[in-house]
Chains A and B, each alone.
Chain A
Amino acid sequence: MSEVEIDWPWQYSFPPFFTLQPHPETRHKQVAAWKSLILAYCQKTKTYIIDVREATQFSLFNNSAINRKLEHNVIVSILSELQKTGNAAAVDKAKNRWEIYWHTLEEWASMIYEYVSNSGMQNTVLTLYELVHGENSNGEEFNGMQQEVLLKVLKVLERERKCEVIVEDDMQGAKFF
C-alpha cells in the first residue's frame, strides 16, 4: 500500500491511545477520536477494505515510532461503532473483513447520481469499470472505488428507482434514470 502523508492527530503519538481506556468518559473520547481517525485515514489513502487480521500492516493501527499497536478485538469494537452510523460494515461473519465508508452508502449514492446526471449519461448503460475508472470521473472522489462497495452504492440507487444494475455474462454495468 502506498503511504500518503497523513495529518496524524496528537492522540496518535499518545501511547495510551492504543490501550482501551477503562474510564467510561475517557473511553468515549478515545473511541470518538479513533472513529474519526479511521475515516480520515481511509479517505486519504482510499482504503475501502480493512482486514483486521492484517491490521498491523496499516500504520493506522500500528505506530512503530512509539511501539504501540491497537489490539484486534479493540479494532473490531471500534469498527462496530462505525457500523452503527453507517460508516463501516463487516463483510464476513467472523468480522475480519470490513468495508469502510468515509461517506455513507447514501452519500456516495447521491454523489454518483449527481455526477451521472450532470454529465448527461442517463438512460445509457455504463460499465462499472467506466463509471469509477473512466477518464471522465477522474477528478471525482468515487474514482477508483472498490467494486463491492460500488455495487452496494448502486443498490441504494436501485431501491430509489434511480438506476438498474445490469449483469451480462462477464460484464457488469448500470443504467441510470
Chain B
Amino acid sequence: MRRRAGVGAIQKHKLEQEKYKDKGNEIQENQFEQMTKQLEVFKVNLEEFASKHKNEIRKNPEFRRQFQEMCASIGVDPLSSGKGFWSVLGIGDFYYEIAIQIVEVCLATNDKNGGLIGLDELRTRLIKARGQSKQHQEISKDDLLRAAQKLKIFGSGFNVVPMGKGKYMVQSVPGELSMDHSAILQQAEKNQAFISVSYLRRELNWEIERSQKALDHMVDQGLAWIDLQNPQERLYYIPSLFAPVLMLPVNLFFIHYLI
C-alpha cells in the first residue's frame, strides 16, 4: 500500500525547489553581470578605437561601414547619440551633414524627377556639389543610405525605396510606395524609363487591374507621366529614370559645416 506524501515531505520539496531557483537566479545574475562587463569593456575599446581612428572613419567609406557594423552589433548607434562621447567624435554630425545635402539634392532636382531619384544619381550630384577635395568625395552609397534612413524621422516625406539587386531610389515627396510601385520602377529602369499595362503583364504576369491601379497611383503622385501618342497603347514614363534627366546639370554647391 502506497503511503501518501506527508506535509513534511511536501514542504521539503518546496524548499529544495526554492533553493534551486535562487541558485539559478544567482548564476543568471552572474552571467548578466559578466556580459555587461564584457560589453562595457567592448564599448570602451570601441570608443577608444573610434577616437584613435577618427580621421580614418571620416575619410574612408569602407572603414566607416565596418565601424557602423561593429557599433550595431553591441547596440550603439553613433548617429542617434548627439551628446557625450559620440558627439565629440562627430560621427553623427557627419551623417547629419550628408542628410542635409541629400535633402538639398532632392529639392534641387524635384521639378525634373517629381521627387524620386536613383541612389546613383543622388550620389553623383551630391559628390559634385561637395567640391573637389578628396575627403569630400569619398561618400559611399552605404553612407547615403544610413543618412537617408535618418530622414525618415521627418515623417512620410522621405523614404528609401528598395529596387532589388542592391539598387535604391530616394523618394522625397509624401506618399507611400508599395512593393508593386517598386516593381514598376524596376521594370521601367530596364526599359528606357517607360512601361505599359501589357508590358507589366508580359514581364510580371500582372492582371490589368493591378497594373492600372499602381500606374494611376504613380501618376497621381507626380512620379509618372502619361504618353497618349503611342499607337498601340498608353505608355507611362518615369522622368527620374529618363537618361537625359540623369545628365542634367543642377546648380548646387554645399558649404561644409564640418572639417
Residues of A whose CB lies within 8 Å of any CB of B are: 10, 13-19, 21-23, 25-26, 29-30, 67-69
Contacts and interface: CB of A to CB of B under 8 A. Distances in A.
Contacts, number: 49
B242 A19 contact: no
Contact of A23 (B112, B219, B228, B235): B219
Contacts of A23: 219-220, 222
B20 to A, nearest CB: 70
B229 A10 contact: no
B209 interface: no
Determine chain B's interface SS by DSSP, over half rule: mixed
Given A14-B245, A15-B235, A26-B222, 17 more contacts: A10-B244, A14-B237, A14-B239, A15-B194, A16-B226, A16-B235, A18-B227, A19-B225, A19-B227, A22-B219, A23-B219, A23-B220, A23-B222, A25-B222, A26-B114, A26-B225, A29-B111
Given A14-B237, A14-B239, A26-B114, A19 B226 contact: yes
A10 B226 contact: no
A23 B182 CA distance: 20
Given A19-B227, A21-B226, A22-B226, A14 B244 contact: yes
B192 to A, nearest CB: 10
A23 B194 CA distance: 17
A42 B227 CA distance: 26
Nearest to B225: A16
